[in-house]
């Protein structure tokens, strides 16, 4: 760890690890998405995108370390978007 | 009673005020992010609706985009998210030098993203594929809709990147002047949240336009 965590916030080392994971996920999505042209794995890049979003929101946006009303506001915002996305995709999936 | 001594239970009142400001500003920022995401979600729904109608055309048009450049741009934006997160953490630790350096790196990466985007658009425009062009008029409906959405959505995202660059530049000045610091960091933290939102939107633009076949 480059620096100790302060008041529950992540240290620079945590950010570096998350960035490395995001890079790996991006390369995995870029290489898989171009070659998988049919079947259920077609949506693999979107699954990877969702995992990347969770990492960015939890660590870079500090949601994992927020408490109380800030976390509630953030989860409310992201939850509504998630519900909209799920409704759209469930409709899209049955077409 | 609170007087000019500005102390209550051993805490300085300006500290309490700053903490309250940080809290309310952050809540407001998350609600703002919600409205921004709505803007893009609506466009993604439009994209999916047309994709269900013109799946084959969308797939062919997607294969015509520059995937390598888009992958590079994704890595650039993710790295900029990392650097802005470092800058926010540095501000909270009152490490002004690192904070400004990280903001500078973020601005540099954002400009690089825009240069790549300009190159990508130029490639398409050189082939006569842009809204209102004769080249676009000659395309089938599905491909034309794909490219219209491509220009609208990536263009709208680029506008957000430009706004982010301006905000980050302002933050760099405020940090240097000491007006954004460990005790009063809400403005910079919110700028960071905005930048991460821009990054998240791009993650999905990248997936929808370049990856999902």
pLDDT of residue B207: 92
Report pLDDT digits (tens) over B3-16.
Answer: 444 454 545 556 77
CB B31 within 8 A of CB A73: yes
Chain A nearest-CA distance from B45, in A, is 7
Distance, CA of A70 to CA of B119 (rounded, Å): 40
pLDDT of residue B8: 47
pLDDT over 70 percentage in chain B: 93
Q: What's the start-to-end Cα distance of chain B, in Å?
A: 67
Distance, CA of B59 to CA of B146 (rounded, Å): 9
- Flag if B30 and A70 touch (Cβ within 8 Å): yes
pLDDT of residue B24: 87
Of B8-12, B40-44, B148-152, the least confident = B8-12
CB B211 within 8 A of CB A34: yes
Give A20-60 as a DSSP string.
HHHHHHHHHHHHHHHH--SSGGGGHHHHHHHHHHHHIIIII
Which value, in Å, is the radius of gyration of the alpha carbons in chain B? 21
The Cα-based distances of B212 to A43, A49, B40, B119, B207 in angstroms read 6, 11, 18, 22, 6
The Cα-based distances of A28 to A43, A46, B182 in angstroms read 13, 12, 38
pTM exceeds 0.95 = no
Q: Which residues contact B80 (CB under 8 A, 6 or more apart)?
A: B105, B106, B109, B110, B113, B195, B199
pLDDT of residue A42: 66
> Residue B11, SS3?
strand
Which of A10, A42, A52, A55 has the most B C-beta neighbours within 10 Å, making it the best mutation to test the interface with B? A52
Q: What average pLDDT does this structure show over B82-90?
A: 97
The enclosing H or E element of B169 equals: helix B141-177
Report pLDDT digits (tens) over A62-87.
Answer: 999 888 888 888 888 888 888 988 88
The answer for A9, left when phi > 0, alpha when psi is -120 to 50, beta otherwise, is: beta
Per-residue pLDDT for B155 more than 80?
A: yes
Predicted confidence band of residue B57 (pLDDT cuts 50, 70, 90): very high
What are the respective helix, strand and coil percentages of chain B, to the nearest 5?
80, 0, 15
Report pLDDT digits (tens) over B101-144.
Answer: 999 999 999 999 999 999 999 999 999 999 988 888 889 999 99
Contacts of A10 in chain B (CB under 8 A): 89
Q: What average pLDDT does this structure show over B23-44?
A: 91
pLDDT of residue A25: 96
pLDDT of residue B81: 98
Q: Which residues contact B44 (CB under 8 A, 6 or more apart)?
A: A85, A88, B204, B208
Report pLDDT digits (tens) over A25-63.
Answer: 999 998 875 555 555 556 788 889 999 999 999 999 999
Chain B nearest-CA distance from A79, in A, is 10
Burial grade of B67 (CB within 10 A; 0-12, 13-18, 19 or more): middle
Report pLDDT digits (tens) over A1-16.
Answer: 333 444 556 889 999 9
- Flag if B78 and A34 touch (Cβ within 8 Å): no
CB B191 within 8 A of CB B31: no
- Flag if B212 and A43 touch (Cβ within 8 Å): yes
pLDDT over 90 percentage in chain B: 72
């Amino acid at each position: 760890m480059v620096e100790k965590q302060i008041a529950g916030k992540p240290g620079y080392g945590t950010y570096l690890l998350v960035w490395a994971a995001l890079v790996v996920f991006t390369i995995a999505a870029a290489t898989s998405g171009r070659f998988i042209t049919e079947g259920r794995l077609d949506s693999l890049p979107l699954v990877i995108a969702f995992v990347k979003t969770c990492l960015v929101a939890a660590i870079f946006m500090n949601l994992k370390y927020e408490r109380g009303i800030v976390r509630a506001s953030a989860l409310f915002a992201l939850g509504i978007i998630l519900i909209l996305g799920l409704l759209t995709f469930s409709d899209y999936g049955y077409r | 009673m609170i007087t000019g001594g500005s102390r209550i239970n051993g805490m300085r009142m300006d500290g309490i005020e700053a903490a309250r400001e940080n809290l309310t500003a952050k809540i407001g920022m998350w609600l703002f992010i919600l409205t921004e995401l709505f803007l893009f979600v609506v466009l993604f729904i439009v994209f999916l609706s047309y994709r269900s109608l013109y799946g084959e055309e969308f797939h062919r048009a997607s294969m015509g985009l520059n995937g390598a450049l888009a992958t590079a741009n994704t890595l650039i934006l993710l790295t900029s998210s990392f650097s802005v997160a470092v800058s926010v953490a540095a501000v909270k630790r009152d490490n002004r030098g690192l904070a400004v350096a990280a903001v500078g790196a973020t601005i540099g990466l954002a400009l690089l993203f825009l240069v790549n985007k300009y190159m990508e658009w130029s490639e398409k425009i050189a082939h006569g594929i842009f809204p209102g062009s004769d080249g676009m008029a000659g395309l089938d409906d599905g491909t034309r809709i794909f490219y219209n959405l491509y220009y609208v959505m990536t263009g709208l995202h680029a506008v957000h990147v430009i706004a982010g660059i301006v905000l980050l530049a302002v933050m760099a000045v405020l940090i240097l002047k000491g007006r954004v610091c460990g005790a009063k960091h809400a403005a910079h933290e919110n700028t960071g949240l905005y930048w991460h939102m821009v990054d998240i939107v791009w993650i999905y633009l990248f997936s929808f336009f370049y990856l999902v076949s």
